[in-house]
Amino acid sequence: NAGVTQTPKFRVLKTGQSMTLLCAQDMNHEYMYWYRQDPGMGLRLIHYSVGEGTTAKGEVPDGYNVSRLKKQNFLLGLESAAPSQTSVYFCASSYPNTGELFFGEGSRLTVL
Amino acid sequence: GENVEQHPSTLSVQEGDSAVIKCTYSDSASNYFPWYKQELGKRPQLIIDIRSNVGEKKDQRIAVTLNKTAKHFSLHITETQPEDSAVYFCAASHNNAGNMLTFGGGTRLMVKP
């Protein structure tokens, strides 16, 4: 099992460009999440999904969109990137009632 | 919403000493409190968690305590080893499922050999 896989691992964007981060999990988890990690601020939830076809806003959703068309995939989109979105992005997945989040390896995004 | 404060932000100990990291939370409805360890350049991984119906939980050299009245919980690592060096995050959520976890800001633990 690969677990949770994120692509790409690194990306540099110019302000105003768009991009999509892909998260794929092979553990048949119902729940999936996108977090961003910034120094001294821990992990902050951007959006999450409790099942195929559903999405919900987390703590810091502005400037991001998500889609969960297939159970195993959770996409995070930036329509018009801003320097404030420079961060490390982590995808995670979990079963509904166990609590443990399984994280991907992270995607480092730099917006110039 | 929930707010989780974590202290200290950095902690340096000698190998073999104990380390304690403390977190406070604001929402009395929170009932699930996990701790994640993130080694340099790696993904966060769950090391221990506690639910609100339990006051203490141990797993070998790691223990977590919860004081619901005071709304704080702590991670205790005994007999620290160099491989314990990492960033540790506490978190809290309303339900046992883990969705809508609110994380603390993290503690960088350095264990000196």
Q: Tell me how far apart the alpha carbons of residues B34 and B59 are, in angstroms, rounded to a whole number.
A: 13
Q: Tell me how far apart the alpha carbons of residues B54 and B33 are, in angstroms, rounded to a whole number.
A: 11
Q: Which residues of A touch B40 (CB under 8 A)?
A: none
pLDDT band at B97 (very low <50, low <70, confident <90, very high): very low
What average pLDDT does this structure show over B11-33? 95
Q: Tell me how far apart the alpha carbons of residues B44 and A37 are, in angstroms, rounded to a whole number.
A: 11
Residues A48, B96: C-beta atoms closer than 8 Å: no
The 3-state DSSP class for residue A85 equals helix
CB under 8 Å to A39, separation ≥6 — which residues? none
Q: Does A40 reach chain B within 8 Å, measured CB to CB?
A: yes
Interface test with B, best of A4, A43, A60 (most B CBs within 10 A): A43
DSSP letter (8 states) at residue A41: S
Can you state the percent helix, strand and coil of chain B, rounding each to 5? 5, 55, 40
* pLDDT single digits (tens) B47-62: 999 988 889 999 999 9
Q: Does A3 reach chain B within 8 Å, measured CB to CB?
A: no
CA torsion sign for A23, A69, A94, B107 is positive
Q: Tell me how far apart the alpha carbons of residues A43 and B60 are, in angstroms, rounded to a whole number.
A: 27
Q: Tell me how far apart the alpha carbons of residues A46 and A63 are, in angstroms, rounded to a whole number.
A: 10
Q: Does B9 reach chain A within 8 Å, measured CB to CB?
A: yes
What average pLDDT does this structure show over B64-93? 96
Tokens of A106: 């992270």
Higher pLDDT, A30 or B94: A30
Higher pLDDT, B77 or A97: B77
Can you state the percent helix, strand and coil of chain A, rounding each to 5? 5, 50, 50
Q: Tell me how far apart the alpha carbons of residues A46 and A38 are, in angstroms, rounded to a whole number.
A: 13
Q: Which of A42, A90, A99 sits opposite B98 (nearest CB)?
A: A99
In tens digits, what is the pLDDT along chain A, a chain of 112 residues? 689 999 999 999 999 999 999 999 999 999 999 999 998 788 999 999 999 999 999 999 999 999 999 999 999 999 999 999 999 999 999 987 777 899 999 999 999 9
Which helix (H) or strand (E) segment holds residue B112: the answer is strand B107-112
Q: Does A12 reach chain B within 8 Å, measured CB to CB?
A: no
What average pLDDT does this structure show over B63-88? 97
Touching B: A residues 59-78, CB under 8 Å: 59
Tokens of A21: 């981060």
Looking at this protein, which amino acid is placed at residue B88? Y
Decide if A72 contacts A6 (C-beta within 8 A).
Answer: no
Predicted pLDDT at B52: 86
Predicted pLDDT at A96: 79
Predicted pLDDT at A87: 97
Higher pLDDT, B52 or B66: B66
Asked if residue B82 has a cis previous peptide bond (ω within 30° of 0), the answer is no
